[in-house]
Amino acid sequence: MKTIKHYSPPSTVALEALKTRLELTGNGMADLAGLSDGRQWRKYTGGAKPREVSAQMLFFIAARLTLDPDQLEAIYAQMREMGAELDFVE
């Protein structure tokens, strides 16, 4: 299993470019990242000192953009097997 040794988060410019490319709103990006709403997403893209996107959050976003629904369901099944309870909003 590979372990990330060094991680440098994407810039706010790169995050805004991703939002534009995906044609999502702030709320849409928040949904994609597993955040509560667009105000939370803006903490990563604006203000005097924006938060850095963690490697875990970026991995989650990338997985949701890359994997097909069956692959994601296999991950959710593994999470349940590990003891998690999951509810989804469409």
Q: Round to whole Å and give the CA distance between 71 and 50.
A: 32
Task: Give yes or no for residue 89 having a pLDDT over 80.
Answer: no
Q: Which two tokens stand for residue 13?
A: 């410019």
Return all residues near 63 (Cβ < 8 A) that are at least 6 apart: 72, 75
CA dist list (Å): 42 to 18, 36, 45, 57 = 13, 11, 5, 15
Question: Using one digit for the tens of pLDDT, what is the confidence trace for 45-72?
Answer: 988 899 999 999 999 999 999 999 999 9
Question: Using one digit for the tens of pLDDT, what is the confidence trace for 4-46?
Answer: 999 999 999 999 999 999 999 999 999 999 999 999 999 999 8
How high is the pLDDT of residue 72? Answer: 95
Domain layout of the chain by residue ranges: 12-81
Helix intervals (H) in the chain: 12-22, 26-33, 38-42, 55-66, 69-81
The correct CATH number of 12-81 out of 1.20.950, 2.40.50, 3.40.462, 1.10.260 is: 1.10.260
